[in-house]
A and B are shown apart, each in its own frame.
Chain A
Amino acid sequence: MKKSNIIMLLAAILPLGLFLFPLWRITLEAPQYPTPLAMNIHINDFSDVHPHDIKNINLMNHYVGMKYIPDAIPEFKIFPLGIIITTVIGLIIAFKGNYKWFLFWFILMIVLSSAGLYDFYIWEHDYGHNLDPKAIMKFTNPDGSIMGFQPPLFGTKDILNFTAHSYPRLGALFLGLGIAASFIAYLTGKKNHKTV
């Protein structure tokens, strides 16, 4: 087997790490929480970082009218399926395909990941802005608009008394490495093709 195909094989397998490790983590810090509240987002689930974190995030958030974090969202069915399908495609390419197909897989993964991130943003936006009209506390921005409580997609942001952090975790690293590896496979394959 060619070196480039071996790299492509690795690229196709790496995203499966998403089934082992969380994709993302949102952490909420406040003075009253010496141990911050935090939730992990997996490919197919939300989970507490410390026991009962999600319950306690919900309890805090209901003051400003945010909905309870759902037990399940449709994405938890779609995303795992997507990863399995792309991995299978990747494996077929690794065994059968040439370097041009590696680039195809690379672009496919970039597009799908971007779509996933966009979907995540939409979900976060709705979660942070679609507030209960009977909310206990109402806050407005300096311009008079209703304040949203959307956690950042990536990075750190102050929301009232909380500092929210949103960063990728090990699962995302596996996905990223897989995508990067497919590009390297493409470059290696291309180089070999030229020398041959």
Chain B
Amino acid sequence: MKKVLKPIVTLLGILVAFTSCNNDSKSNAGALSSSAAEKVYVKPGDHDEFYAFISGGFSGQLSVYGLPSGRLFKVIPVFSQDAEKAWGYNEETKPMLNTSHGFIPWDDAHHPDISQTNGEIDGRWVFINGNNTPRIAKIDLSTFETTEIIEVPNSAGNHSSSFVTENTEYVVAGTRFSIPIPQKDMPIKDYKGNFKGALTFISVEPEHGHMDIKFQLIMPGFDYDLSHPGRGKSHGWFFFTTYNSEEANTLLEVNASQNDKDFIAAVNWKKIEEYVNNGGGTMMPSKYAHNVYDESTHSATSTIKEEVLTVNPLDVPGAVYLLPTPKSPHGCDVDPSGEYIVGNGKLSANLTVHSFTKMLDAIENKKFAGDAYGIPIINFEDVLAGVVEQPGLGPLHTEFDGKGNAYTTFFISSEVVKWKLETWEVVDRQPCYYSVGHLMIPGGNSQKPWGKYVLAMNKITKDRYLPTGPEVTQSAQLYDISGDKMELLLDFPTIGEPHYAAGCPADLIKPRSKKIFKLEENNHPYATKSEADTKVVRDGNTVHVYMTMIRSHFSPDNIEGIKVGDEVYFHVTNLEQDYDVPHGVSMIGANTSELLIMPGQTETFKWEPKQVGVWPFYCTDFCSALHQEMQGYVRVSAANANTPLRWSLGEDIE
């Protein structure tokens, strides 16, 4: 027995020695513990702790980064065409970019927000707004693909969105620009009293996330800037900041900055929902597109809807109140408890914080200072919870760490300022490089923030990186906020403008990420599920090529009988059923992009050959050792030729 025990004891001794060695290296790292590099280092093969979904701003897309490393994993095409993934180029996704104004292959993507259940991030979908041609998109986080885009009618400059309520009951879209509702030809100078602002509540079906406009609240003609849902005790309310309560229509930088106070509009959406469910509201004709991508047909459909349900706030007494807030407030941020509503008056020297409890009390006791177009204005002093005195210049946005601290960005003084809720004292500040807009704490827009990091998103970088001509990158900066003092760990370049971001622990999303599409579940009308089924079919001068791809060939790879003037549709199915084996295909002279087709998926591109010849096509995604051999030819004959339609693989065309 002793003979057996001895080596085991020795082995254990060695193991303990090694383990404690590791511990030593950590505890000895006194000097290293402040090493920023070590804190953001994710060693090869390891995964980041958080996903960050950072909007691409004017790029129209959504990027996926890892935190704390700041590594870019993917750019998800949303509102803009993306040749890399054929988004908006292939026949399947073109309908996604359809609007009531026709095909619009670009937008200005601003605020991503992750779906929630019971006030906590659930990692199922990300919503993001298109600011320019008002739209809300939904991205499915099992495929990291945009699966739904709904246009918002009666809106312009869809800025105060896309934030979700705590069970993802609604995603909101608030108009930045007030406009005539319905649109009409009228003098711009008659803006005041005639233009209106629409706040749109889009319901989200809990199982599949299907979106539908439930109602539009037609508000006075202010500019609606940002918004946040109530949560916890204030669940059922939504808060929108406004500027231009002056209702100016020209030189707004002066004319919309006159009032000492603008408003936060507090909307009791539960009350309006009840009103609408009981048959309230008015149907108004208005056209908007609703585009849905179906994972089983790998195709999108676009439907133009004809009317929308509108609600006049005066018809639902007690549903909307205005909270005076100095001065042109921008960010509108609700703390995790739902009690405090922070209005970042961007022209104000102080930060204003309202109290939800005081608001309810003021409403109950009718402590009103008047009304705007019949909507009650609550007395400023009666709703005010506190003021953060002179924290910096140009406050924009606030997020919370869930431990009683708030972090506010200051655009003009380029810094993040940490302050305490309830005592309203500033406790720390860190500079940004430079001109910070939004900031993000993972889970920030929920009852449960993961207060480990804050990500600042900066508009200007100047000398921070290698120059790239007049256009230099914008950037994000990561701060460790786990200690008393914030610590700058990392800055990294971003795509487009990193307008806002949403983040959550990787473990919420990682296990649900799809690896392949099952071939047997592919219901694309032009899918080809085996090489034996490949074919080329002519219908007049339209030709449909039913093609398959697998390592390392296309089937068919020789096609003859195509003529100049034909419309050729390549319907290409990837027969692979292995993770991370997409194939690409491109055709010389096609006025579109390549296709990038995932295992089990079918995609289509259109080719109109204009010249006689024998033209090659090839795989564009390095797929295997014989990727370079993955190619084929199409013979194009003259329009009046009688070359028979034939195709083959592995033998000459007979």
- Enumerate chain A interface residues (CB-CB to B < 8 A): 35, 51-52, 55-56, 59, 63, 136-137
A55 vs B530: C-alpha distance in the bound complex, in angstroms?
13
A51 / chain B contacts, CB cutoff of 8 Å:
577
A136 / chain B contacts, CB cutoff of 8 Å:
626
- Which of A56, A59, A63, A137 has the largest number of chain B CB atoms within 10 A? A59
Where chain B touches its partner, the secondary structure class is loop
Chain B nearest CB: distance from A117 CB in Å?
A: 31
Structural contact, B577 and A56, CB atoms closer than 8 A: yes
A52 vs B516: C-alpha distance in the bound complex, in angstroms?
11
A52 vs B599: C-alpha distance in the bound complex, in angstroms?
12
A56 / chain B contacts, CB cutoff of 8 Å:
577-578
B576 / chain A contacts, CB cutoff of 8 Å:
59
Which chain B residue lies CB-closest to A52? B577
B577 / chain A contacts, CB cutoff of 8 Å:
51-52, 55-56
Which chain B residue lies CB-closest to A62? B551
B516 / chain A contacts, CB cutoff of 8 Å:
52
Structural contact, A59 and B626, CB atoms closer than 8 A: no
B625 / chain A contacts, CB cutoff of 8 Å:
63, 137
- Which of A35, A52, A63, A137 has the largest number of chain B CB atoms within 10 A? A52
A59 vs B626: C-alpha distance in the bound complex, in angstroms?
12
A56 vs B577: C-alpha distance in the bound complex, in angstroms?
7
Which 5 residue pairs spanning A and B have beta carbons closest together?
Answer: A52-B577, A56-B578, A59-B551, A55-B577, A136-B626
A35 vs B578: C-alpha distance in the bound complex, in angstroms?
11
Which chain A residue lies CB-closest to B580? A32
A61 vs B516: C-alpha distance in the bound complex, in angstroms?
21
Chain B 504-519 near chain A by CB (<8 Å), digits 1 or 0: 0000000000001000
A136 vs B550: C-alpha distance in the bound complex, in angstroms?
15
A56 vs B580: C-alpha distance in the bound complex, in angstroms?
12
List B residues 545-583 near A (Cβ within 8 Å).
Answer: 550-551, 576-579
Chain B nearest CB: distance from A21 CB in Å?
A: 25
A136 vs B624: C-alpha distance in the bound complex, in angstroms?
12
The size class of the interface chain B forms with chain A is under 10
B579 / chain A contacts, CB cutoff of 8 Å:
35
Structural contact, A52 and B578, CB atoms closer than 8 A: yes
Q: Which residue of the partner chain, among A35, A59, A63, contacts B550 with CB atoms under 8 Å?
A: A59
A137 vs B624: C-alpha distance in the bound complex, in angstroms?
13
A55 vs B529: C-alpha distance in the bound complex, in angstroms?
14
Which chain B residue lies CB-closest to A137? B625
Chain B nearest CB: distance from A172 CB in Å?
A: 29
Give 5 pairs: A residue, B residue, CB < 8 Å, sorted on A. Answer: A52-B516, A52-B577, A55-B577, A59-B551, A137-B625
B551 / chain A contacts, CB cutoff of 8 Å:
59
Chain B nearest CB: distance from A55 CB in Å?
A: 6
List B residues 575-619 near A (Cβ within 8 Å).
Answer: 576-579
Chain A nearest CB: distance from B264 CB in Å?
A: 50
A56 vs B550: C-alpha distance in the bound complex, in angstroms?
11
B626 / chain A contacts, CB cutoff of 8 Å:
63, 136
A136 vs B579: C-alpha distance in the bound complex, in angstroms?
23
A51 vs B577: C-alpha distance in the bound complex, in angstroms?
8
Which chain B residue lies CB-closest to A63? B625
Chain A nearest CB: distance from B419 CB in Å?
A: 46
Chain A nearest CB: distance from B582 CB in Å?
A: 14
A4 vs B80: C-alpha distance in the bound complex, in angstroms?
79
A51 vs B520: C-alpha distance in the bound complex, in angstroms?
13
A51 vs B521: C-alpha distance in the bound complex, in angstroms?
14
Which chain A residue lies CB-closest to B45? A34
A63 vs B624: C-alpha distance in the bound complex, in angstroms?
10
Which chain A residue lies CB-closest to B626? A136
Chain A nearest CB: distance from B365 CB in Å?
A: 64
Which chain A residue lies CB-closest to B578? A56
A94 vs B6: C-alpha distance in the bound complex, in angstroms?
48
Chain B 194-212 near chain A by CB (<8 Å), digits 1 or 0: 0000000000000000000
Chain B 610-644 near chain A by CB (<8 Å), digits 1 or 0: 00000000000000011000000000000000000
Chain B nearest CB: distance from A34 CB in Å?
A: 9
A137 vs B552: C-alpha distance in the bound complex, in angstroms?
13
Chain A nearest CB: distance from B188 CB in Å?
A: 61
B578 / chain A contacts, CB cutoff of 8 Å:
52, 55-56, 59
Which chain A residue lies CB-closest to B519? A52
Which chain A residue lies CB-closest to B629? A136
A52 vs B576: C-alpha distance in the bound complex, in angstroms?
9
Which chain A residue lies CB-closest to B599? A52
A55 vs B579: C-alpha distance in the bound complex, in angstroms?
13
Chain A nearest CB: distance from B599 CB in Å?
A: 9
A56 vs B551: C-alpha distance in the bound complex, in angstroms?
10
A51 vs B579: C-alpha distance in the bound complex, in angstroms?
11
A137 / chain B contacts, CB cutoff of 8 Å:
625
Q: A35-B579, A52-B578 are in contact. List 8 more A-B contacts (CB 8 A).
A: A52-B516, A52-B577, A55-B577, A55-B578, A56-B577, A56-B578, A59-B550, A63-B626
A42 vs B576: C-alpha distance in the bound complex, in angstroms?
25
- Which of B516, B577, B625 has the largest number of chain A CB atoms within 10 A? B577
A137 vs B626: C-alpha distance in the bound complex, in angstroms?
10
Chain B nearest CB: distance from A92 CB in Å?
A: 46
A153 vs B626: C-alpha distance in the bound complex, in angstroms?
31
Which chain B residue lies CB-closest to A51? B577
